[in-house]
């Protein structure tokens, strides 16, 4: 959480006073409806669907695209495990591809992993870094594939001036506690495609043949799940949305200062970012020549009392730690397990994305903050410079 205050508490109080916490209450125009319209507008797309999580947003998008058994979805080896689990939830197989130095999906590697079964490419804007969407969308177009942007860590970001989430056929956002704006747990799917929207709308509400807004939908009913958003969380999100630009501005300001102060330090360079202006700037990534140098830097910073991390240590954000995937346990029941039903042996291994492991291990993250004083920021910069200029001792 970056910012929250009395305004959110007041918005919640108003919902409680209304005694209407459920979004579908006959009349339209509640907080969930309003948030969807505002989020769609912010993202520059026609349709927004508020749901209970970012994971749900990805599942709804895949269901909206009619992805299912027999299909493959390409995901990067560096992302929260939810990205890889979403295809399984709709019966499809996740295929893991490399990230490049930008720590986002490598379009060239994606091309290598396309098979006749591939249906969707799922670029992930990790740590708010915009993916190379131009190249990824070109690859997708060339092969007749769809693009689902996982923008769960990139609320409010953009690429080439166009909002993240609006480049692909659909986008998924998360508003859990750790994201740029938050309501504790929540998410949103966005799309310009009316068919994707309608199927997702139905899927997220048990197949919704019975809501007033669904009556005009001519898609035959099908069994869905319940990922409905409620009015309490929607009211919080509407206030959070008014803070988003301020949060991004503060993060980007810190990142600009960090970059200008650390520019030219020879121990590392900055991991390339495909669009610095659209970058959410939650993180500055420093790329070292070797993983040993990154390790030595982390250890020396720790000795100075500054705890930084490397994305190689980020647990379930890294495919080698996705036990569920690597062991191919695709469902709660073998009769629903895409790995058992697909009829071929999905070629996973811990070394299927060696470059991903290398780039992550060579990277050190500095997180930005909205409430750090300039004095604290300058002290951090001073320590980084001091440590970076100290020759690495042999281990
Ligand atoms: C957080 C996150 C998700 C899932 O969001 P939840 O709201 O926790 O379900 C998916 N992908 C990425 C990259 C995330 O960081």
pLDDT (tens digit, 9 = 90+) per residue, 112-138? Answer: 999 999 999 999 999 999 999 999 999
Pairing of strands 47-51, 158-159: unpaired
Pairing of strands 187-191, 269-270: unpaired
Q: How far is CA 318 from CA 151, 173, 344, in A?
A: 17, 20, 24
Give pLDDT, residue 26. 63
Give pLDDT, residue 392. 61
Atom number of ligand 1 nearest to Cα 86: 10
pLDDT at 166 over 60: yes
pLDDT at 236 over 90: yes
Around ligand 1, the residues with Cβ closer than 6 Å are 53-55, 79-80, 82-83, 124, 150, 152-153, 174, 176, 187
Reported pTM: 0.97
Query: How do residues 271-287 score in pLDDT, each as one tens digit?
Result: 999 999 999 999 999 99
What average pLDDT does range 137-154 have in this prediction? 98
Higher per-residue pLDDT: 395 or 246: 246
SS3 state at 179: coil
Largest CA distance in the chain: 70
DSSP state of 22: S
User: What is the torsional sign of CA 8, 9, 11, 15?
Assistant: positive
Distance 174 CA to ligand 1 centre (A): 6
The residue among 186, 187, 185, 217 whose CA lies nearest residue 202 is 217
Q: How far is CA 123 from CA 28, 106, 151, 354, in A?
A: 34, 9, 8, 18
> Residue 33: which residues within 8 A CB-CB, separation 6 or more?
23
Site to substitute for ligand 1 among 153, 170, 311, most atoms within 8 A of C-beta? 153
Q: What distance in Å separates the CA atoms of residue 52 and residue 172, rounded to the nearest whole number? A: 12
Atom number of ligand 1 nearest to Cα 53: 7
Integer-rounded Cα Rg, in Å, for the chain is 22
Computed over every residue of the chain, the mean pLDDT equals: 96
Query: How do residues 312-362 score in pLDDT, each as one tens digit?
Result: 999 999 999 999 999 999 999 999 999 999 999 999 999 999 999 999 999
Total Cβ atoms within 10 A of residue 213? 12
Give pLDDT, residue 217. 87
Give pLDDT, residue 27. 61
pLDDT classification of 49: cutoffs 50, 70, 90: very high
SS3 state at 148: strand
DSSP state of 318: B
Q: What distance in Å separates the CA atoms of residue 42 and residue 387, rounded to the nearest whole number? A: 41
Give pLDDT, residue 28. 63
pLDDT classification of 212: cutoffs 50, 70, 90: confident
Give pLDDT, residue 297. 97
Distance 317 CA to ligand 1 centre (A): 10
What average pLDDT does range 198-213 have in this prediction? 88
């Amino acid at each position: 959480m970056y910012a929250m205050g009395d305004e959110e508490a007041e918005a919640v109080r108003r919902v409680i006073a209304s005694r209407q916490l459920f979004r579908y209450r006959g009349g339209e125009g509640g907080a969930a409806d309003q948030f969807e319209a505002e989020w769609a507008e912010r993202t520059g797309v026609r349709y927004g669907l508020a749901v209970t999580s970012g994971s749900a947003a990805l599942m709804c998008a895949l269901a909206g695209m009619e992805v299912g058994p027999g299909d493959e979805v390409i995901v990067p080896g560096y992302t929260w495990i939810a990205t890889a689990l979403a295809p399984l939830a709709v019966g499809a197989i996740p295929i893991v591809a490399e990230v490049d130095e930008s720590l986002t999906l490598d379009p060239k590697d994606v091309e290598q992993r396309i098979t006749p079964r591939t249906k969707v490419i799922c670029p992930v804007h990790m740590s708010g870094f915009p993916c190379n969407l131009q190249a990824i969308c070109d690859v997708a177009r060339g092969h007749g594939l769809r693009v689902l942007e996982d923008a769960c860590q990139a609320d409010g970001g953009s690429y080439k001036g166009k909002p993240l989430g609006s480049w692909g056929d659909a986008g998924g956002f998360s508003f859990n506690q750790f994201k740029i704006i938050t309501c504790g747990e929540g998410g949103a799917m966005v799309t310009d495609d009316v068919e994707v929207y309608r199927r997702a709308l139905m899927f997220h509400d048990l197949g919704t043949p019975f809501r007033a807004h669904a009556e005009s939908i001519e898609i035959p009913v099908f069994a869905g799940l319940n990922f409905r958003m409620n009015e309490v969380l929607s009211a919080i999100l509407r206030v959070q949305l008014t803070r988003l630009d301020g949060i991004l501005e503060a993060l980007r300001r810190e990142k600009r200062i960090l970059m200008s102060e650390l520019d030219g330090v020879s121990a590392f360079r900055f991991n390339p970012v495909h669009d610095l202006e659209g970058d959410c700037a939650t993180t500055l990534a420093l790329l070292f020549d070797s993983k040993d140098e990154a390790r030595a830097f982390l250890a020396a910073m720790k000795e100075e009392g500054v705890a930084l991390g490397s994305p190689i240590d980020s647990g379930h954000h890294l495919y080698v730690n996705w036990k569920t995937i690597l062991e191919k346990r695709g469902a709660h029941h073998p009769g629903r397990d895409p790995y058992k039903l697909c009829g071929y042996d999905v070629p996973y291994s811990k070394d299927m994305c060696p470059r991903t492991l290398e780039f992550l291990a060579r990277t050190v993250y500095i997180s930005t903050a909205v409430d750090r004083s300039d004095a604290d920021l300058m002290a951090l910069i001073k320590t980084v410079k001091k440590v970076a200029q100290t020759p690495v001792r042999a281990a």
